[in-house]
Amino acid sequence: MQHIRNFCIIAHIDHGKSTLADRLLQQTNTVKEREFQNQVLDSMDLEREKGITIKSHAVQMQYEQAGKQYTLNLIDTPGHVDFSYEVSRSIAACEGALLVVDATQGIQAQTISNLYLAIENDLDIIPVLNKMDMPSAEPEEVSEQIIDLLGCDKEDILQVSAKTGEGIENVLNAIIHKIRPPEGDENAPLQALIFDSFFNPFRGIIAYFRIMNGQIHKDDFVKFIATGKEYHADEIGILSLSREPRNTLKAGNVGYIISGIKTAKEVKVGDTITHVERPSKESIEGFKEIKPMVFAGIYPVDADDYEELRSSLEKLQLNDASLSYEPESSMALGFGFRCGFLGLLHMEIIQERLDREFNMDVITTVPNVSYKIYTTKKEVLDVHNPSGMPPLNLIERIEEPYIIAQIITKTEYIGAIMKLCLDKRGMLKSQIYLTSNRIEITFELPLGEIVFDFYDKLKSCSKGYASFDYHINDYKPSKLAKLDILLNGDPVDALSTLIHVDNAYSFGRRMCEKLKELIPRQQFDIAIQAAIGSKIIARETVKAVRKDVTAKCYGGDISRKRKLLEKQKKGKKRMRQIGNVEVPQSAFLAVLKID
Amino acid sequence: MAGIYIHIPFCLQKCSYCNFYSESDISLKDKLINTLLTEIKLRASYLNNETVRTIYFGGGTPTLLLPNEIQQMIDAVFSLFQLSDEIEITLEANPNNLTEEYIKQLSATAINRLSIGIQSFYDNDLQTLGRIHTAKQAEESILLAQKYHFNNLSIDLMYGFPGLTLEKWKYNLNKIKNIQHISCYQLTLEKKSLLYQKIKNGILLSTPEDEIIEQYHYLISFAKKHHFIHYETSNFCQENFESKHNTSYWQDALYLGIGPSAHSYNRESRQWNISDNKAYITFFENLLSSEDYDLKGENVVFEKEILTTDMRFNEYIMTSLRTIWGCSLDYIQQHFGKSYLKHLRQQLSNIQPDFYILSPSSLRLTEKGNLFADYIAASLFV
Ligand SMILES: Nc1nc2c(ncn2[C@@H]2O[C@H](COP(=O)(O)OP(=O)(O)O)[C@@H](O)[C@H]2O)c(=O)[nH]1
Ligand SMILES: C[S@@+](CC[C@H](N)C(=O)[O-])C[C@H]1O[C@@H](n2cnc3c(N)ncnc32)[C@H](O)[C@@H]1O
Ligand code: SF4
């Protein structure tokens, strides 16, 4: 155990986490030069493009120093608040962290909240200035910032270039000498923390764990404490670049287990693995059941693709347990699914994966959070779909989920951020100055307010210099209304939203305005109305086309014009017929972006 | 039945709205005429021996050519093609070129139809439009044409452009109520035109849609009052004075296009010559002097689009619905097949009933439907 080091890398997007990881793998000969395809760790395309490691991975390296053989486990962490729980579990599996900062950019706010998480978990932090090969590097300035934040000595900060490989030795050195070896009792009952899981089409679910105490052997009978399920350990092993089976793994190490588990739902990040015989009495602390918090309908653009969409979602769920879905139908959009996500980014990722990996064209409806509705019959309903709202006269009260949000930013942006949070019905809880110009603001906010455009707004009003982290707090009474959109008098269910009464009027108005922009003129006038119950709160009209004919149509014009009209016709085919109105797909999507 | 279009790619001054291909440098004129003659000879087989019913000199500005140069080309066509007894030979004419001397010489050629591009009888409009002629020249050219017995005369007018009021439009129309044929084009704002730039930059104000519709409605009532037949969206004529040439475009007839940018169509494909006088001339020069070039080869001066049945159907719908005759259901069944007929019937259900008239033999648009011809055509496309 003395020769094991478990660490993660904390870095802002593009500061060089992946490149540095590659260098470490190279330097330790984990990857041969030949097998090297850049950035080995980010294996999903989507991650690479988004610059976010969506799913944590882990990799083990062997490194010899002064005649001693060290085992280094690098545990990768995702980088977005939607996955903050996963990050916290990855951090809990480590003793140390590399804080990688781009020397040309300086420390970015988003890094700070993960860094605090690491400090809270008592991790040994190794600050690393990356991109030192670049002429624009400002090591002095950026070192100041790091010292401010960590209270470390200047000499502790390593200067490297992940690109040229300069200084990588020092990083390995620091990992060995500055990060403490894991502690734990090899002879105690087994306690292993699950920090990630992965779906493999041939082997089922592969869970990644860190052994805190005890040991695990191939063919052991194990139990997952939170789910209470028991399995046979068909295969255990370590994660080098590929899986390498082992017969035994002991406290302090990181590994994987394959035990014939078919669906991701059975493996919960944060759960503790122990033995069926001689089980550990306690589980590792910090386990939380993660529940989808944001819900939206997903419909196939082409109704014929419904079954294909179902099987695509099924496959996605195999390796993404936090995705949930159930069938629903809409008058406007036909048959589809109500899906639950961890947050908006998660929703975007699912949409993109449907598109890229399954080639599915989908329409996503306005997202909603889950509300608790107390009826006059003393029932409590979980409603996360406007159509699930009982009639007003049966509702006694409604409660909505609130979050505690921590925002760390520079003092100059306080004003703008305060205003944003207050506009979103937030309540200020505390303001703490971390340094003379860095502040932590804590707000209590309705979750429903951040599912729309909160991130984008926060980013723009703080020029990107604000880190945001949240956890669900509790439910509180809410004045909720169901806002309907009507086209020529017909309600369009796919455009209905649940929204706080105070926001309903302006939202309804903006919705009508937006739809007016997006719905093309047709053969007759189209009335767009926003209504709460039977009360119309906003109205716009799309005037009928008055005229649509080009002047000339001779030899040369014919091809050109045919192509133009063919394009129009294609656009029409992709429209949804609602009553007698043709609504383009873009209308369903654009309401998500309403300002 | 087939038509021949000959494009004369020169204009001394480019009009502000125009997107047709022409060059202001006329130094290549003689070479170009020779090349046109060459192309006529080399492509004589394109029309499959079908009888040529119309020849159309369009532009650009065909009246930049001398009448005997025009006659030379007519002669070439006469010597190489099957001709109809009642061949229509049209010349697009710009008023400033139509001097008495010129018209006199024209009347000695085989040209039997003159289409004069007047656009407006107001000098300030002509300025807005960037026309090279004056209102006075416009009026005189008509009188001269009539004097020399061009009694199949056509006038082009435009409406819906900046500065044209309803009053001026009425005046313009009433000037030509005795003419056999009129083409009234609503301004199409071409992205590449000067006028587009000016409107975009706020120098000129585009006409509101309502006013354009008003001008259109006036045009319709004017036509009725003076017994013009509204036989195509933009075309009106006294009885029996339809433009045979243009009509053939809308009725799926073959045509051979000669000259830079000209389009040809033989029901299987449409092809169009390069819009570049120099390249056009060079190509045919090389073709004559070497073996490397081939009309079918790779380095040809035209682009070609093979037309699928769907594409042809769409074109037929698009063009024929603009005419008073509408699209013929028999023709669709014969040339495209029953399934297309079925498709047409199905799609019609999405169109407002007062936009069209469906008889056992044809589908036509009503006056109201005419205003939506493009929308309706697109809806009926396969
Ligand atoms: N010049 C220079 N570029 C680097 C260095 N490290 C990373 N990069 C580049 O910075 C960009 C982002 O790096 P990447 O490792 O993908 O960042 P990540 O988002 O933190 O994983 C890539 O274009 C890298 O090639 C470095 O040390 N020097
Ligand atoms: C291509 S021109 C050639 C004839 C000749 N050069 C002339 O201008 O009189 C034929 C007619 O097309 C019309 N035209 C050209 N460009 C147009 C546009 N952008 N919108 C509407 N009509 C147009 C004009 O009325 C013009 O008389
Ligand atoms: S409208 Fe006629 S004269 Fe004017 S530029 Fe076009 S082709 Fe030439």
- Interface check for B314 against chain A (CB to CB < 8 A): the answer is yes
Handedness of CA A253, A259, A263, A266 (dihedral sign): negative
Least confident of A38-52, A121-135, A332-346, A489-503: A38-52
CB contact burial A246-281 (16+ within 10 A = b; e otherwise)? beebbbbbbbbbbbebeebebbbbbbbbbbeeebbe
CATH topology of domain A4-178: Rossmann fold (3.40.50)
What pLDDT is stored for residue A49 in this prediction? 43
Confidence of residue A367 (pLDDT cuts 50, 70, 90): confident
pLDDT greater than 50 at residue A51: no
- Interface check for B302 against chain A (CB to CB < 8 A): the answer is no
Handedness of CA B86, B91, B92, B98 (dihedral sign): negative
Q: What's the CA gap between B121 and B172, in Å, rounded?
A: 6
Residue for token digits 């037309």?
B307
Judge: A551–B314 Cβ closer than 8 Å, yes or no. no
Which amino acid would we find at residue B243?
A: S
Confidence of residue A54 (pLDDT cuts 50, 70, 90): very low
Torsion of CA A97, A102, A103, A108, to 10 degrees: -90
Judge: A555–B374 Cβ closer than 8 Å, yes or no. no
Q: Annotate A154-199 with DSSP letters as a single string.
A: GGG-EE--TTT-TTHHHHHHHHHHHSPPP---TTSPPEEEEEEEEE
Least confident of A17-26, A62-71, B293-302: B293-302
Residue A492 contacts residue A332 (beta carbons within 8 Å): yes
Confidence of residue A35 (pLDDT cuts 50, 70, 90): low
- Between A560 and B215, residue with greater pLDDT: B215
A18 Cα: distance to centroid of ligand 1 (angstroms): 7
What pLDDT is stored for residue A590 in this prediction? 66
Q: What's the CA gap between A55 and A87, in Å, rounded?
A: 10
Chain A residue numbers with beta carbons less than 8 Å from the beta carbon of B265 are 555, 558
What pLDDT is stored for residue A554 in this prediction? 75
Confidence of residue A53 (pLDDT cuts 50, 70, 90): very low
Judge: A562–B315 Cβ closer than 8 Å, yes or no. yes
SS3 B354: helix
Handedness of CA B225, B231, B234, B239 (dihedral sign): negative
Q: Domain ranges in chain A?
A: 4-178, 191-275, 294-367, 372-478, 482-592
Nearest CA to ligand 2 atom 16: B18
- Between A85 and A49, residue with greater pLDDT: A85
What pLDDT is stored for residue B258 in this prediction? 96
For residue B264, give every residue at least 6 positions away whose Cβ sits within 8 Å of its Cβ, in sequence order, or none. A555, B43, B46, B255, B256, B257, B270, B271, B272
CATH topology of domain A482-592: Alpha-Beta Plaits (3.30.70)
Q: What's the CA gap between A154 and A456, in Å, rounded?
A: 35
**CATH number of the structural domain A294-367:** 3.30.70.870
pLDDT, one tens digit per residue, over A292-327 is: 878 999 999 888 899 999 989 988 887 677 788 999
Q: Which residues pair with A527 in a beta bridge?
A: A541
* ipTM attached to this prediction: 0.88
Judge: A548–B262 Cβ closer than 8 Å, yes or no. no
Q: Which residues pair with B306 in a beta bridge?
A: B269
What pLDDT is stored for residue B289 in this prediction? 80
CATH topology of domain B2-250: pyruvate-formate lyase- activating enzyme (3.80.30)
Chain A residue numbers with beta carbons less than 8 Å from the beta carbon of B249 are 553-555, 558
CB contact burial B141-163 (16+ within 10 A = b; e otherwise)? bbebbeebebebbbbbbbbbbbe
pLDDT greater than 70 at residue A288: yes
- Closest-approaching ligand to the CA atom of B24: 3
Fold matches, A294-367 and A482-592: yes
CB contact burial A202-230 (16+ within 10 A = b; e otherwise)? ebbbbbbbbbbbbbbebebebbbbeeeee
Judge: A548–B372 Cβ closer than 8 Å, yes or no. yes
Judge: A569–B379 Cβ closer than 8 Å, yes or no. yes
Q: What's the CA gap between B344 and B365, in Å, rounded?
A: 14
What pLDDT is stored for residue A592 in this prediction? 66
B344 Cα: distance to centroid of ligand 3 (angstroms): 38
Residue B95 contacts residue B136 (beta carbons within 8 Å): no
Best residue of A525, A554, A567 to probe chain B, by most B CBs closer than 10 Å: A554
Best residue of A524, A525, A545, A552 to probe chain B, by most B CBs closer than 10 Å: A552
Give start-end residues of each CATH 3.80.30.20 domain in chain B.
Answer: 2-250
Residue for token digits 């509101």?
B208
Closest-approach residue (CA) in chain B for A554: B249
pLDDT greater than 60 at residue A55: no
Q: Which candidate, A60, A27, A40, A58, places its Cα nearest to that of A173?
A: A27
Handedness of CA A525, A528, A531, A536 (dihedral sign): negative
- Does CATH place domain A191-275 in 2.40.30.10? yes
Residue A344 contacts residue A294 (beta carbons within 8 Å): yes
Q: How far is CA A468 from CA A47, A83, A417, in A?
A: 20, 12, 11
B60 Cα: distance to centroid of ligand 2 (angstroms): 9
What pLDDT is stored for residue A301 in this prediction? 83
Q: Annotate B208-253 with DSSP letters as a single string.
A: PHHHHHHHHHHHHHHHHHTT-EEEETTEEESTT---HHHHHHHTT-
| B20 within ligand 3 shell (Cβ under 6 A) | yes
Which amino acid would we find at residue B300?
A: V
Nearest CA to ligand 3 atom 2: B60
Judge: B379–A562 Cβ closer than 8 Å, yes or no. no
Chain B residue numbers with beta carbons less than 8 Å from the beta carbon of A562 are 311, 314-315, 318
Q: Is the preceding peptide bond at B60 cis, omega within 30 degrees of 0?
A: yes
pLDDT, one tens digit per residue, over A369-378 is: 889 999 999 9
pLDDT, one tens digit per residue, over A136-195 is: 999 998 898 899 888 889 999 999 999 999 999 999 999 999 999 999 999 999 999 998
Q: How far is CA A480 from CA A357, A408, A486, A505, A593, in A?
A: 38, 30, 19, 12, 21
Chain B residue numbers with beta carbons less than 8 Å from the beta carbon of A550 are 188, 374
What pLDDT is stored for residue A109 in this prediction? 62
Residue A420 contacts residue A458 (beta carbons within 8 Å): yes
Q: What's the CA gap between A337 and A300, in Å, rounded?
A: 9
For residue A449, give every residue at least 6 positions away whose Cβ sits within 8 Å of its Cβ, in sequence order, or none. A424, A425, A426, A500
Q: Specify whether the backbone of A591 is left (phi greater than 0), alpha (psi in -120 to 50) or beta.
A: alpha
Q: What's the CA gap between A425 and A564, in Å, rounded?
A: 48
Confidence of residue A50 (pLDDT cuts 50, 70, 90): very low
Confidence of residue A82 (pLDDT cuts 50, 70, 90): low
Chain B residue numbers with beta carbons less than 8 Å from the beta carbon of A574 are none
What pLDDT is stored for residue A79 in this prediction? 57
Distance of residue B179 Cα from the nearest chain A Cα, in angstroms: 20
Q: What's the CA gap between A100 and B290, in Å, rounded?
A: 69
Mean pLDDT, to the nearest integer, of A98-111? 84
Residue A301 contacts residue A244 (beta carbons within 8 Å): no
B173 Cα: distance to centroid of ligand 3 (angstroms): 21
Judge: A546–B210 Cβ closer than 8 Å, yes or no. yes
Chain B residue numbers with beta carbons less than 8 Å from the beta carbon of A549 are 186, 233, 322, 370-374
For residue A203, give every residue at least 6 positions away whose Cβ sits within 8 Å of its Cβ, in sequence order, or none. A235, A258
Residue A194 contacts residue A269 (beta carbons within 8 Å): yes
The 3-class SS string of A191-241 reads EEEEEEEEEECCCEEEEEEEEEECEEECCCEEEECCCCCEEECCEEEEECC
**Which residues does a 6 A CB cutoff place in the pocket of ligand 2?**
A 551-552; B 17-18, 20, 58-61, 92, 94, 117, 119, 156, 158, 185, 187-188, 190
Nearest CA to ligand 2 atom 3: B59
Mean pLDDT, to the nearest integer, of A100-113? 81
In order along its 382 residues, chain B shows pLDDT tens digits of 899 999 999 999 999 999 999 999 999 999 999 999 999 999 999 999 999 999 999 989 999 999 999 999 999 999 999 999 999 999 999 999 999 999 999 999 999 999 999 999 999 999 999 999 999 999 999 999 999 999 999 999 999 999 999 999 999 999 999 999 999 999 999 989 999 999 999 999 999 988 999 999 999 999 999 999 999 999 999 999 999 999 988 888 899 999 999 999 998 999 999 999 999 999 998 888 876 656 665 567 888 999 999 999 999 999 999 999 999 999 999 999 999 999 999 999 888 889 999 999 999 999 889 888 998 999 999 9
Q: Annotate A267-314 with DSSP letters as a single string.
A: S-TT-EEEESSS--SSPPTT-------EEEEEEESSGGGHHHHHHHHH
Count of CB atoms situated within 10 Å of the CB of A474 = 10
For chain A, what percent of residues have pLDDT higher than 90?
37
Both tokens of A295, joined, read 């819900």
Judge: B379–A572 Cβ closer than 8 Å, yes or no. yes
Q: What's the CA gap between A473 and A369, in Å, rounded?
A: 14
CATH class of A372-478: alpha beta
